[in-house]
Amino acid sequence: MQVPPLLKIAVVGPESTGKSTMAKKLAEHYQTVCVPEYARYYCQNLDNKYTLQDEVNMYYGQIALEESLIPLASKGLLIADTTIMTIKIWSDHLFGHTPEEVLKEIKLRQYDFYLLMDIDLPWEDDPLRDFPEQRPHFLEVWKKELNQLNANYSLISGHGEERVENGIAAVQSFLTGHLG
Reference 9, options 87, 77, 109, 84; nearest CA is: 77
- Judged by average pLDDT, the poorest of 35-39, 47-51, 70-74, 83-87 is 47-51
In 19-59, the DSSP E strands lie at 34-35
Kindly tell me the sign of the dihedral angle through the C-alpha atoms of 60, 61, 66, 67: positive
* Contacts of residue 136, Cβ cutoff 8 Å, sequence gap at least 6: 119
- C-alpha 60: how far from its chain's center? 15
DSSP 46: S
DSSP lists the bridge partners of residue 77 as 7
Average pLDDT estimate for 112-116: 97
Residue 3 has a pLDDT of 47
pLDDT 10s digits, 130-167? 666 778 999 999 999 999 999 999 999 999 999 999 99
pLDDT at site 2: 43
Question: Angle of helix 52-69 relative to helix 100-108, nearest 10 degrees?
Answer: 30
What pLDDT shows up at residue 40?
83
Residue 116, pLDDT above cutoff 50: yes
| Rounded Cα gap, residues 81 and 95, in angstroms | 24
**Continuous segment of H or E residues that includes residue 113:** strand 113-117
What is this structure's pTM?
Answer: 0.92
